[in-house]
A and B are shown apart, each in its own frame.
Chain A
Amino acid sequence: MPTKTRPIEKFATAVGKCSAEGAVYGKCIVADYKNVTKDKCLTEFLKLKDCYLAAYKTR
């Protein structure tokens, strides 16, 4: 019997596949986390999001 997967589980699994991109984005923020502005790490985030979207689809 297939168990129902909650959306958050699917989301978490997809995000888990992008730990490398997540780390790059995290480092970008943490490098100067006292001066964070909107879209400070936009390029890093878009890479992370592309990876996540790809991982979310393939599953």
Chain B
Amino acid sequence: MLSPVLLPAASLHTLTRTRSHRVIALRFSRGYAIQAPGAPTLDIFSSQTKWLQKERAAADVQASRDVDYLRDEVASRLCERLLDVNRHFPKVLDLGANACNIARMLTRPSPDSPSSTTRAERLSTLVAAESSQAMLYRDADLPFNQAMEIVRQVLPTSEMLPYEANTFDAVLSSLSLHWINDLPSVLAQVNNVLKPDSPFIGVMLGGDSLFELRTSLQLAELERRGGVSMHTSPLADVRDVGGLLQRAGFHLLTVDVDDIVVDFPNSFALMRDLQAMGESNAVLGREMGAMQRDAMLAAEGIYRELHGNDDGSIPATFRLIYMIGWKEGPNQSKPLPRGSGMISIKDVLEGQTK
């Protein structure tokens, strides 16, 4: 009798098939291990919830305008950065425009040189793209819309840019990138729609934004309920942003941080303002429904004690990360190759101290 080892492979298969169905099923169901194209993305925020929050916030026009203080200030600082670039921009995209805060700030004169004309004359067309229609058209009938050409465009999703490559002379984004799930993909798309040698100038909330609220809610829930639930978003940090821009193919990166501290009478006023901005919690897997009153009551006491100001108000920090990246262009200045420096920095510094 032949030993099974000497049998050809095909007959070995038939042998095993007759013996056990389970073995065969396992062997033939195995496919190739293939890697999905692109990096696997993990959804953190619910874009549906975020859209709903913005629609609801914009439905109450007056309350929504009352809390524009943060977006207007940030948009104004962003516009100053755009005007630092000494050229004319025929077509500019405002990605995640909210209530067109950038457009409104562009139609005002620069605070640095009030005598000069408005900042908008450096632009021809501003395309304001936003997923929430109510938010985008909130201020569509205000006088600033006549001061410059604004094209409003409702995006079906905030993570997909429906534009041709090499369309825009600059892309701006103010306070909306922190709700994007797949930031590398969106930044790569931004890089794609930019013309060569054009800047992307964005600002997002990041780092230790609202750390006071975050810590007091955590302490309150820990003491009251014995566990912590997610009430504030995870945010990108400064060092993440540099890597993200580089990965998206941007050159000549500039990343800087700006803290804006706003004082509120109590923590409920802060939460109400965040809600009116449409910036409520939209993390997937958050606790549904309203927050427990016990936890809010406890958090108010802790916030006041841990972070409160002497005058009885409470501070809320908004950390803004400004990022500037340029799409690669033919005549763009590049860093010199490594080792090509002819002057020793050591000699220069030692010469100064003597």
Do A and B share a complex?
A: yes
**Interface residue ranges, A against B (CB under 8 Å):** 8, 11-12, 15-16, 19, 21-23, 25-27, 29-30, 33, 36-41, 45, 48-49, 52
Contact residues in A for B294 (Cβ distance below 8 Å)? 45, 49
Task: Report the stretch among B87-95, B204-212, B264-272 that lies at the interface.
Answer: B264-272
Chain B residues near A52 (CB-CB < 8 A): 297
Known contacts: A36-B222, A40-B223. The answer to whether A30 contacts B305 by CB under 8 A is yes
Task: For the complex, give the distance between the alpha carbons of A59 and B272 in Å.
Answer: 21
Smallest Cβ-Cβ distance to B218: which chain A residue:
A36
B266 touches A23 (CB 8 A): no
Please state if B223 and A36 are interface contacts (CB–CB under 8 Å).
yes
**Residue contact B305 to A38, C-beta cutoff 8 Å:** no
Q: Is the Cβ of A8 less than 8 Å from the Cβ of B268?
A: yes
Which residues of chain A have C-beta atoms less than 8 A from B219's C-beta?
A: 29, 33, 36
Note all chain B residues with C-beta closer than 8 A to A38: 222-226
**A45 contacts across to B, CB distance below 8 A:** 223-224, 294, 297-298
Q: Are A11 and B272 in contact (CB under 8 A)?
A: no
B223 touches A39 (CB 8 A): yes
| Chain A residues whose CB sits within 8 angstroms of the CB of B19 once the complex forms | none
Contact call B301/A11, Cβ cutoff below 8 A? no
B225 contacts across to A, CB distance below 8 A: 38
Chain A residues closer than 8 Å to B306, beta-carbon distance: 26, 29-30, 33
Enumerate chain B residues within 8 angstroms of A8, measured Cβ to Cβ. Answer: 268, 271-272
A27 surroundings in chain B (CB, below 8 A): 305
The residues of B that contact A40 with a CB separation of less than 8 Å are 223
Contact B272 A30 (CB under 8 A): no
B304 sits at the interface (CB 8 A): yes
Cα distance A55–B245 when bound, in Å? 52
Query: A37 to chain B: closest CB distance in Å?
Result: 7
Nearest B residue to A52, CB-CB: B297
Tell me the bound Cα distance from A38 to B197 in angstroms: 57
Contact A37–B223 (Cβ < 8 Å): yes
B59 to chain A, nearest CB (A): 15
Would you mind naming 16 contact pairs between A and B with Cβ atoms under 8 Å apart?
A: A8-B268, A8-B272, A12-B268, A15-B300, A23-B301, A26-B301, A26-B302, A26-B306, A29-B223, A29-B306, A36-B222, A37-B226, A38-B226, A40-B223, A45-B297, A48-B297
Query: Whole-angstrom distance from the CB of B125 to the nearest CB of chain A?
Result: 41
- With CB as the reference atom, state the residue of chain A lying closest to B300: A15
Are A25's CB and B266's CB within 8 A? no
Q: Is the CB of B266 within 8 A of A29?
A: no
CB nearest neighbor in A for B296: A11
The interface residues of chain A lying within 8 Å CB-to-CB of B302 are: 25-26, 29-30
Chain A residues with Cβ below 8 Å from B271 are 8
Shortest Cβ gap from B73 to chain A (Å): 25
Q: Which residues of B contact A30 (CB under 8 A)?
A: 302, 305-306
Highest count of chain A CB atoms <10 Å: which of B223, B224, B293, B306: B223
Decide: A41 and B305 in contact? CB cutoff 8 A.
no
Given contacts A11-B293, A25-B298, A26-B305, 13 further A-B contacts (CB under 8 A): A15-B266, A16-B266, A25-B301, A26-B302, A27-B305, A29-B298, A30-B305, A33-B219, A33-B306, A38-B223, A38-B225, A45-B224, A48-B298
B223 lies within 8 A of A22 (CB): no
Query: Would you give the shortest CB distance from A47 to chain B, in whole angstroms?
Result: 11
Closest to A21 in B: B301
Q: Which residues of B contact A23 (CB under 8 A)?
A: 301, 304-305
Given the known interface contacts A38-B222, A38-B223, A38-B225, the answer about A15 and B304 at a Cβ–Cβ threshold of 8 Å is no
